[in-house]
Copies of this chain bind each other. A is one copy, B any other.
Amino acid sequence: MDKKTKMLNELKLLGTNIIDYLRKGEPPKLQVPSRITSNIVYDPVARCYVLGDKYKLRSAGNIAHVKKIAQTMCVATFGKELAEKSQFATLREMYYYGEGWPCGKFVDQQESDMVAEDLEVMLGCKREDFGIYPEESGAGVFGDVLVREPDGNEIHAEKAGMGGYTIPPIVDDIEFVRCGAKRLIAVETLGYYHRLVQERAYKRFDALIVGLKGQASRATRRMIRRLHGELKLPVYVFTDGDPWGSFIAMVVISGSAKAAHVNKELATPNAIWIGVTPEDITKYKLPTDKFNDQDFKRIEELKKDPRYQGKFWQKQLELWEKMGAKSEQQGLARHGLSYVVEKYLPDKIREHEPNFKPKPA
């Protein structure tokens, strides 16, 4: 059974469950796994945040729950229609579309977003599976991979323009037809994505270059997970040398608390952060800025974060705190524009693949 059929069955089950209650003359009830902070737990086996086993019960017999149950039915219907037509819509469109619904009009988009998340946890699938996605700019991918989109269009990610192939919202509907790349390098800044493409890093390193543009979107995280899981590509994440950069890598690796209910489909626990680490700042003599209060505060927060509990991460945080200074990936440019591909990245990849040899430019 394919994903879509499974999801449509789940939606049907949700609906028949409500109808059953009504036929029995009872107020319909919904059991919704809880997403409160105390129910978001780090799973050391899955190596990411997941939801615990608390749930809340909503009953149409309780006047305070009636509207929410009606809204859930509306969103489920919206999702079903989208899935049946193989269409997709933004969360914002859904919010406005709700203006035309017979009941349960949303007060604001926050409310409609929450109902979409409720549906995700209830059905155990991603809202993207029923065609509802946030408005966010997809990352660019450049390198030797041929993908097929649902309309049959095949795109080679070295031939879609120097901006690369843009990861679309509906990542799960993409097929990987062929891949010659042997690893994946995700880059925090767009500037360095362009640098790597321009320096032909995809050829030199047999790599797919993914431009995260800061915090990676859900679609980007899903894409990286799929490329790692299905094509067995080692994943390297290359960020700025500050606590915030390390966190961008961490969300790719272990997922976010907010997406705890879907992290198992988004996180790539085997992904490796290749700096800029505090040690790199010293080793590569990078230009630094002093930590400000927020940087120090962030370090304290991360020290307690369950995702940062390993020896490696605790050491990084301590080093940073001691150093009290940060650097940016583009700081490598002080040694020349090509330094990042001629020196830094080969060094860093070799730490994990001892026999790695870059090809000539």
Contacts and interface: CB of A to CB of B under 8 A. Distances in A.
A135 B192 CA distance: 9
Interface of A: 87-90, 92-94, 96-97, 99-100, 135-138, 140, 147, 149, 151, 153, 155, 159-170, 189-191, 194-195, 198, 213, 287, 328, 330-337
Contacts of A168: 161-163
Nearest to A98: B334
Given A160-B155, A161-B149, A166-B164, A337 B87 contact: yes
A161 B169 contact: no
Most buried by B among A97, A147, A191: A191
A191 B92 contact: yes
B96 A137 contact: no
Contacts of A190: 135-137
A147 to B, nearest CB: 8
Contacts of A165: 160-161, 163
Contact of A161 (B89, B153, B162, B194): B153
A276 to B, nearest CB: 12
Given A88-B198, A100-B336, 4 more contacts: A93-B333, A97-B333, A97-B336, A153-B162
A159 B155 contact: yes
A146 to B, nearest CB: 11
Contacts of A149: 161-162
Nearest to A194: B169
Contacts of A161: 147, 149, 153, 155, 160, 165-166, 168
Contacts of A164: 166
Contact of A99 (B100, B135, B138, B334): B334
Given A138-B163, A149-B162, A161-B168, A191 B333 contact: no
A241 to B, nearest CB: 12
Contacts of A138: 163
Contacts of A100: 334-336
Contact of A96 (B97, B151, B287): B287
The oligomer's copy count stands at 2
| Most chain B Cβ neighbours within 10 Å, of A135, A140, A151, A170 | A135
Nearest to A193: B135
12 contacts: A88-B198, A90-B195, A92-B333, A93-B330, A96-B328, A135-B189, A137-B190, A155-B161, A160-B160, A161-B165, A161-B166, A163-B165
A118 to B, nearest CB: 21
B163 A330 contact: no
Contact of A330 (B90, B167, B198): B90
Contacts of A99: 287, 334
Chain B CB within 10 Å — which of A100, A153, A166, A169 has the most?
A166
Nearest to A94: B333
A155 B191 CA distance: 22
Contacts of A87: 198, 337
Nearest to A151: B162
A342 to B, nearest CB: 14
A331 B97 CA distance: 8
